[in-house]
Homo-oligomer: A and B are copies of this chain.
Amino acid sequence: MSINIITISREYGSGGRLIGKTVAEKLGWKFLDREIIETAARESGLSEKFIEQSGEYASATTSLLFNLSVGNNPDGGMMSLYNEVFNVQREIICKAADEGRCVIVGRCADYILRERDDCMNVFIHASTEKRANRIVAIYGDDSKNPEKRLKEMDKKRRVYCRNFTGQEWGETHNYQLCIDSGFYGIEKSADIIAETVK
Protein backbone atom coordinates (compact mmCIF):
# COMPACT_ATOMS: atom_id res chain seq x y z
CA MET A 1 0.00 0.00 0.00
CA SER A 2 1.60 3.23 -1.14
CA ILE A 3 -0.22 6.40 -0.16
CA ASN A 4 0.58 9.56 -2.10
CA ILE A 5 -2.46 11.67 -1.39
CA ILE A 6 -4.28 12.40 1.86
CA THR A 7 -7.68 14.06 1.69
CA ILE A 8 -9.12 15.63 4.82
CA SER A 9 -12.81 16.20 5.29
CA ARG A 10 -13.71 17.95 8.50
CA GLU A 11 -16.48 19.27 10.68
CA TYR A 12 -16.52 23.02 11.08
CA GLY A 13 -14.36 24.06 14.03
CA SER A 14 -12.67 20.67 14.39
CA GLY A 15 -9.26 22.05 13.41
CA GLY A 16 -9.16 19.80 10.34
CA ARG A 17 -7.51 22.44 8.18
CA LEU A 18 -4.69 22.98 10.68
CA ILE A 19 -4.31 19.22 11.12
CA GLY A 20 -3.96 18.87 7.34
CA LYS A 21 -1.33 21.61 7.25
CA THR A 22 0.57 19.98 10.12
CA VAL A 23 0.46 16.56 8.42
CA ALA A 24 1.86 18.10 5.21
CA GLU A 25 4.68 19.74 7.18
CA LYS A 26 5.49 16.52 9.03
CA LEU A 27 5.66 14.54 5.79
CA GLY A 28 7.21 17.26 3.65
CA TRP A 29 4.26 17.03 1.27
CA LYS A 30 2.51 19.82 -0.58
CA PHE A 31 -0.52 21.32 1.18
CA LEU A 32 -3.43 22.29 -1.04
CA ASP A 33 -5.83 24.72 0.49
CA ARG A 34 -5.70 28.43 -0.32
CA GLU A 35 -3.94 27.58 -3.58
CA ILE A 36 -7.06 25.84 -4.88
CA ILE A 37 -9.08 28.99 -4.34
CA GLU A 38 -6.51 31.25 -5.97
CA THR A 39 -6.03 29.01 -9.00
CA ALA A 40 -9.77 28.44 -9.40
CA ALA A 41 -10.35 32.19 -9.29
CA ARG A 42 -7.65 32.81 -11.89
CA GLU A 43 -8.91 30.09 -14.24
CA SER A 44 -12.61 30.82 -13.93
CA GLY A 45 -12.47 34.60 -13.76
CA LEU A 46 -14.64 34.47 -10.65
CA SER A 47 -13.61 36.27 -7.47
CA GLU A 48 -11.67 34.44 -4.74
CA LYS A 49 -14.40 35.36 -2.30
CA PHE A 50 -17.05 33.73 -4.46
CA ILE A 51 -14.93 30.59 -4.91
CA GLU A 52 -14.28 30.41 -1.19
CA GLN A 53 -17.94 30.76 -0.33
CA SER A 54 -19.41 28.54 -3.01
CA GLY A 55 -16.60 26.01 -3.39
CA GLU A 56 -17.52 24.08 -0.27
CA TYR A 57 -20.69 25.59 1.09
CA ALA A 58 -23.68 25.07 -1.11
CA SER A 59 -26.48 26.73 0.75
CA ALA A 60 -29.04 24.15 1.74
CA THR A 61 -31.70 26.30 0.14
CA THR A 62 -30.05 26.04 -3.27
CA SER A 63 -30.14 22.27 -3.45
CA LEU A 64 -32.85 22.26 -6.10
CA LEU A 65 -30.75 24.57 -8.26
CA PHE A 66 -27.81 22.26 -7.71
CA ASN A 67 -29.73 19.19 -8.70
CA LEU A 68 -30.92 20.84 -11.86
CA SER A 69 -27.56 22.24 -12.81
CA VAL A 70 -25.50 19.16 -11.99
CA GLY A 71 -27.76 16.93 -14.08
CA ASN A 72 -26.86 15.72 -17.57
CA ASN A 73 -26.34 18.48 -20.04
CA PRO A 74 -25.34 16.65 -23.21
CA ASP A 75 -25.74 19.79 -25.24
CA GLY A 76 -23.35 21.61 -22.96
CA GLY A 77 -26.12 23.97 -22.00
CA MET A 78 -25.74 26.63 -19.42
CA MET A 79 -24.16 25.38 -16.23
CA SER A 80 -24.64 27.17 -12.98
CA LEU A 81 -21.75 29.06 -11.50
CA TYR A 82 -21.71 26.59 -8.63
CA ASN A 83 -21.23 23.74 -11.02
CA GLU A 84 -18.48 25.63 -12.80
CA VAL A 85 -16.66 26.22 -9.53
CA PHE A 86 -16.91 22.50 -8.72
CA ASN A 87 -15.51 21.54 -12.11
CA VAL A 88 -12.64 24.03 -11.97
CA GLN A 89 -11.75 22.81 -8.47
CA ARG A 90 -11.96 19.20 -9.65
CA GLU A 91 -9.46 19.85 -12.41
CA ILE A 92 -7.06 21.59 -10.01
CA ILE A 93 -7.33 18.71 -7.52
CA CYS A 94 -6.78 16.02 -10.18
CA LYS A 95 -3.78 17.89 -11.59
CA ALA A 96 -2.23 18.35 -8.14
CA ALA A 97 -2.74 14.64 -7.37
CA ASP A 98 -0.97 13.73 -10.61
CA GLU A 99 1.92 16.04 -9.84
CA GLY A 100 3.00 14.51 -6.54
CA ARG A 101 2.40 13.79 -2.89
CA CYS A 102 -0.02 16.19 -1.25
CA VAL A 103 -2.59 16.81 1.47
CA ILE A 104 -5.90 18.27 0.29
CA VAL A 105 -8.49 19.75 2.65
CA GLY A 106 -12.19 19.69 1.83
CA ARG A 107 -13.82 20.29 -1.57
CA CYS A 108 -14.95 16.65 -1.94
CA ALA A 109 -11.40 15.67 -2.90
CA ASP A 110 -12.05 12.18 -1.51
CA TYR A 111 -14.84 11.68 -4.03
CA ILE A 112 -13.02 13.42 -6.88
CA LEU A 113 -10.01 11.12 -6.47
CA ARG A 114 -12.03 7.96 -5.72
CA GLU A 115 -10.60 6.02 -8.70
CA ARG A 116 -7.02 6.33 -7.44
CA ASP A 117 -5.62 3.56 -5.28
CA ASP A 118 -2.95 5.75 -3.64
CA CYS A 119 -5.37 8.05 -1.85
CA MET A 120 -6.24 7.91 1.87
CA ASN A 121 -9.38 9.68 3.06
CA VAL A 122 -9.59 11.08 6.58
CA PHE A 123 -12.54 12.60 8.44
CA ILE A 124 -11.96 14.90 11.42
CA HIS A 125 -14.72 15.46 13.95
CA ALA A 126 -15.07 16.70 17.53
CA SER A 127 -17.80 17.26 20.08
CA THR A 128 -20.01 20.31 19.69
CA GLU A 129 -18.64 21.71 22.96
CA LYS A 130 -15.00 21.48 21.88
CA ARG A 131 -15.75 22.94 18.46
CA ALA A 132 -17.80 25.79 19.89
CA ASN A 133 -14.94 26.70 22.21
CA ARG A 134 -12.55 26.56 19.28
CA ILE A 135 -14.47 28.82 16.91
CA VAL A 136 -14.82 31.41 19.64
CA ALA A 137 -11.19 31.22 20.84
CA ILE A 138 -9.34 30.64 17.56
CA TYR A 139 -11.58 31.86 14.75
CA GLY A 140 -12.82 34.78 16.81
CA ASP A 141 -16.45 33.86 16.24
CA ASP A 142 -18.47 36.47 18.09
CA SER A 143 -21.91 34.94 17.64
CA LYS A 144 -23.95 34.51 20.79
CA ASN A 145 -24.77 30.97 19.80
CA PRO A 146 -21.68 29.25 18.34
CA GLU A 147 -23.48 25.88 18.44
CA LYS A 148 -26.01 27.22 15.94
CA ARG A 149 -23.22 28.41 13.66
CA LEU A 150 -21.59 24.95 13.80
CA LYS A 151 -24.87 23.33 12.86
CA GLU A 152 -25.36 25.69 9.91
CA MET A 153 -21.85 25.22 8.55
CA ASP A 154 -21.92 21.43 8.93
CA LYS A 155 -25.27 21.33 7.19
CA LYS A 156 -23.89 23.33 4.27
CA ARG A 157 -20.93 20.97 3.91
CA ARG A 158 -23.21 17.95 4.14
CA VAL A 159 -25.55 19.31 1.49
CA TYR A 160 -22.67 20.32 -0.77
CA CYS A 161 -21.20 16.82 -0.50
CA ARG A 162 -24.54 15.11 -1.10
CA ASN A 163 -25.36 17.28 -4.10
CA PHE A 164 -22.07 16.84 -5.87
CA THR A 165 -21.13 13.29 -4.88
CA GLY A 166 -24.26 11.48 -3.71
CA GLN A 167 -22.20 10.42 -0.68
CA GLU A 168 -22.98 10.96 2.98
CA TRP A 169 -20.47 13.35 4.51
CA GLY A 170 -19.05 11.98 7.76
CA GLU A 171 -20.32 8.42 7.20
CA THR A 172 -17.69 6.06 8.64
CA HIS A 173 -17.40 3.84 5.58
CA ASN A 174 -16.43 6.69 3.27
CA TYR A 175 -13.11 7.20 5.08
CA GLN A 176 -10.13 5.02 5.90
CA LEU A 177 -9.61 6.95 9.13
CA CYS A 178 -11.96 9.02 11.30
CA ILE A 179 -10.40 10.95 14.17
CA ASP A 180 -11.91 12.83 17.10
CA SER A 181 -9.62 15.88 17.23
CA GLY A 182 -11.30 17.08 20.42
CA PHE A 183 -10.05 13.95 22.13
CA TYR A 184 -6.51 13.80 20.70
CA GLY A 185 -5.79 17.47 20.02
CA ILE A 186 -4.32 18.97 16.82
CA GLU A 187 -0.73 17.74 17.13
CA LYS A 188 -1.58 14.17 18.09
CA SER A 189 -4.26 13.92 15.38
CA ALA A 190 -1.68 15.02 12.82
CA ASP A 191 0.80 12.47 14.22
CA ILE A 192 -1.73 9.64 13.89
CA ILE A 193 -2.36 10.52 10.23
CA ALA A 194 1.30 11.06 9.34
CA GLU A 195 2.32 7.77 11.00
CA THR A 196 -0.08 5.77 8.84
CA VAL A 197 1.84 6.58 5.66
CA LYS A 198 5.33 6.09 7.06
Spell out A's residues near B (CB within 8 Å): 1, 120, 123, 125, 127, 170-173, 175-180, 183-185, 188, 191-192, 195-196
In the bound complex, residues from chain B placing their C-beta under 8 Å from that of A171 are 172
Contact flag A173-B1 (CB < 8 Å), given A183-B120, A192-B195, A196-B184: no
In the bound complex, residues from chain B placing their C-beta under 8 Å from that of A196 are 184, 188, 192
Interface of A is mostly: mixed
Q: A176-B184, A184-B196, A195-B195 are in contact. List 19 more A-B contacts (CB 8 A).
A: A1-B184, A120-B183, A123-B172, A125-B172, A171-B172, A172-B172, A172-B178, A173-B180, A175-B178, A176-B180, A176-B183, A177-B177, A177-B178, A177-B179, A177-B180, A177-B192, A178-B178, A191-B195, A192-B192
Across the interface, name the chain B residue whose C-beta is closest to A171: B172
Q: Give 7 A-B contacts (CB < 8 Å), ordered by A residue.
A: A1-B184, A123-B172, A123-B178, A127-B173, A178-B178, A192-B196, A195-B195
Q: Which of A120, A171, A178, A188 gathers the greatest number of chain B CB atoms within 10 Å?
A: A178
Establish whether residues A176 and B179, one from each chain, have CB atoms under 8 Å apart when the complex forms: yes
Establish whether residues A125 and B173, one from each chain, have CB atoms under 8 Å apart when the complex forms: yes
- Give the distance to chain B from A195, nearest Cβ to Cβ, in Å: 6
In the bound complex, residues from chain B placing their C-beta under 8 Å from that of A184 are 1, 176, 196
- Give the distance to chain B from A13, nearest Cβ to Cβ, in Å: 14
Compute how far the CA of A6 lies from the CA of B184 in the bound complex, rounded to whole angstroms: 14
- Give the distance to chain B from A64, nearest Cβ to Cβ, in Å: 28
Q: Which of A171, A173, A185, A191 gathers the greatest number of chain B CB atoms within 10 Å?
A: A173
In the bound complex, residues from chain B placing their C-beta under 8 Å from that of A123 are 172, 178
Compute how far the CA of A196 lies from the CA of B184 in the bound complex, rounded to whole angstroms: 8
In the bound complex, residues from chain B placing their C-beta under 8 Å from that of A172 are 123, 125, 170-172, 178
